[in-house]
Amino acid sequence: MKVLLINPESSQINMRKKATTIPLGLMAIASYLKREGYDIKVVDLDLNPQSIVKILKEFNPDVVGVTVLSTLSGNAAIKISKIAKKHNKPVVWGGFVPTFLTDLCLKEDCVDFVIIGEGELTFSELLEAIKDGKPYSEIDGLAYVENEVIYVNKEREFSDLADFPAMDWSLLNPSEYGQVFFQAERMIYLYSSKGCPAKCSFCYNAKYYGSKQRVRPIEQVVDEIEQVVRKFNIDGIYFSDEFWYPGKNEIQKFFKLIKEKELKFFWGCQTRLGVLTKEELQQMYDSGCRWILFGIESGCEKRIKEIKKGIDLSKAKETFATCRKIGIATQASFIIGYPGETVEELKKTINFARQLDADYFPINILYFQPGSEYYDDSVASGEYTPPDSLKEWSTLQTDEYYGPNFSEVPKKDLMVLHFYTQWQAFFKKTPGKSKSSNPIAKKTVLDLLDNLFRFGLKSILIGPLVAAKQFLTVFWYAKAHPKILKKYGLEKGW
């Protein structure tokens, strides 16, 4: 059987595309299906927009799979799927959005199947059922439409990641995704694990992964790194894991293999506060680690307990000081606008964030993420009414404020603090020796230029206007509200 797997482009409504990254979930499924003997073609429209009609005619797949990782790609996914249906192809959706908005996806008249959660085994079994004419009701982790009725099968149990193959780079060229970031000139994203043991109220992880972390075999991960470094000239790896820490024994194996293979590359990750020892942080630096993102989320102990973050804030200053001494750039992320959050609580968070002296300190407004405890509870109680169509979902900006404000903090305060940290980060100098004077600023400019030409004449004409609007929005909130900044002790800067 021939299977066409597509990563749709993000919404072009307001040109807010970010840097294109390898569709790792789609690649994982593609690599597994190829190993199982299927003829696979992966098309990343986010990287290279092209005619779906032409691809369908030339490849003539038996099944078309579409990944929908963000609501911003919902409209594009629908458009692709309608074209596939006109060519009489069964359409399968998978990813974050179909998993948590299953009914909305299946109500579109162009989606036949939805894979819920991890897709390798479910997709493989679905292909067998399609080929052999078997019933779909026996396939765990599958939802589908039959005679205009939506059926949702039982959840699939998690698999051992050792059963899955490494990325098959004959399907996509990783060098096309290289980005400038810190010392790296060609950084790409890879993953070494799935899931996170935390149960944060604002995150979908607890529902999607069951608050469990599964680690890929370290040997496989390092082999994958070796291949992209030596064959594709990649010099930077950003682990996209929700929580990077393979375990005390496995992390030592990771360091050992990197040294034995004499791999020279820079890397970074996202991890939890209090997990890494000083010795491990030094070993990370020695093996090429140059940046770490710590999800702090609040500077208030009471709030940390309420959101079920499970970290000890007292360890933050020491950890950040250690990283600074070693030479690892730090990023401390915070969330504001929690239900019931007060101005006094927010002041504590801002003060705590400043004391950390992190190299980057993004402050994001709480996003009611489908699948999270906050989202489910607010929808169930009637406090929040989410969009009732994928078209409406695709217009929302998940990286900015768009939804309800259940905090006691004025909306304008939240907006000012959010954009103020964006402004500060843009002009922040890079710590240590770097080929990029400012990775965030440079990356932003390069992404903008890339977007201007990626979508043709329309984007070239509209792009500068949109970029100007975005710049003015950031500038307005960051610079035109001195009273609010003074309110949170920021009148003299960060």
The CATH number of domain 161-487 is 1.10.10.10? no
The string of pLDDT tens digits covering residues 97-126 is: 999 999 999 999 999 999 999 999 999 999
Residue 65 has pLDDT above 90, yes or no: yes
CATH, domain range 2-152? 3.40.50.2300
pLDDT of residue 444: 52
Q: Which of 268-272, 406-410, 448-452, 474-478 has the lowest mean pLDDT?
A: 448-452
Radius of gyration of the chain (CA): 23
Position 72 confidence tier, pLDDT thresholds 50, 70, 90: confident
Residue 250, Cβ neighbours under 10 Å: how many? 17
Q: Looking at the whole model, is its pTM more than 0.85?
A: yes
pLDDT digits (tens, 9 = 90+) for 375-409: 999 999 999 999 989 888 887 755 454 568 899 99
**pLDDT at 464 (0 to 100):** 67
How far apart are alpha carbons 386 and 366 in whole angstroms?
15
d(CA 297, CA 404): 19
Q: How many CB atoms lie within 10 A of CB 135?
A: 8
Place of tokens 């439409």: 145
Q: Are 76 and 346 in contact (CB under 8 A)?
A: no
Return the domain boundaries, the chain.
2-152, 161-487
Per residue in 226-271, pLDDT tens? 999 999 999 999 999 999 999 999 999 999 999 999 999 999 999 9
Domains 2-152 and 161-487 share a fold: no
Rounded Cα distance, 170 and 31, in Å? 9
> What mean pLDDT is predicted for residues 1-7?
98
Task: Give the pLDDT band of residue 429 (cuts 50, 70, 90).
Answer: low
Residue 58 has pLDDT above 70, yes or no: yes
The lowest-confidence range among 174-183, 414-423, 468-477 is 468-477
